[in-house]
Amino acid sequence: MPLVQTKYFGTMSYEDESVFDFPCGLPAFDEEKRFVFIEIAEHTPLVFLQSLSRPSLCFLALPALVVDPDYCLAVSVEDRAALELALEREPRPEDGMLALALVSLHDGLSATANLMAPIVVNVRARCAVQAIRMDRRYSHQHPVPGLGIAPVCEGAC
Partner 1 sequence: MLVLRRRAGESLLIGDDIEIEMLELTPQGAKIGIRAPRETIVLRKELKITREQNTHAARGPESGDLGKALPGIFSQQLKNLPSNR
Q: Which is nearer to partner 1, 65 or 81 (CB)?
A: 65
Using CB under 8 A, which of 46, 74, 81, 125 touches partner 1?
46
Using CB under 8 A, which of 3, 16, 44, 156 touches partner 1?
44
Exposed / middle / buried, residue 114 (Cβ in 10 Å: 0-12, 13-18, 19+): buried
Beta carbons of 20 and 26 less than 8 angstroms apart? no
- Which of 156, 80, 78, 59 shows the shortest CA–CA distance to 122? 80
Q: How far is the CB of 85 from partner 1 (least distance, A)?
A: 19
Q: Which is nearer to partner 1, 146 or 155 (CB)?
A: 146
Q: Does 151 bind partner 1 (CB under 8 A)?
A: yes
3-state secondary structure 7-68: CCCCEEECCHHHEEECCCCECCECCCCEEEEECCHHHCCCEEEEECCCCCCEEEEEEHHHHC
Stretch that binds partner 1, among 14-22, 61-69, 73-81, 82-90 (CB under 8 A): 61-69
Within residues 110-139, the interface with partner 1 by CB under 8 A covers 110-111, 114, 116-117, 130, 132-134
Contacts of 89 (CB under 8 A, 6+ apart): none
Within residues 12-31, the interface with partner 1 by CB under 8 A covers 26-29
Q: How far is the CB of 125 from partner 1 (least distance, A)?
A: 18
DSSP 8-state class, residue 143: E
Beta carbons of 76 and 98 less than 8 angstroms apart? no
Q: Which residues bind partner 1 (CB under 8 A)?
A: 7-8, 26-29, 42-46, 56-60, 62-63, 65-66, 69, 98, 102-105, 108-111, 114, 116-117, 130, 132-134, 140-141, 144-147, 150-151
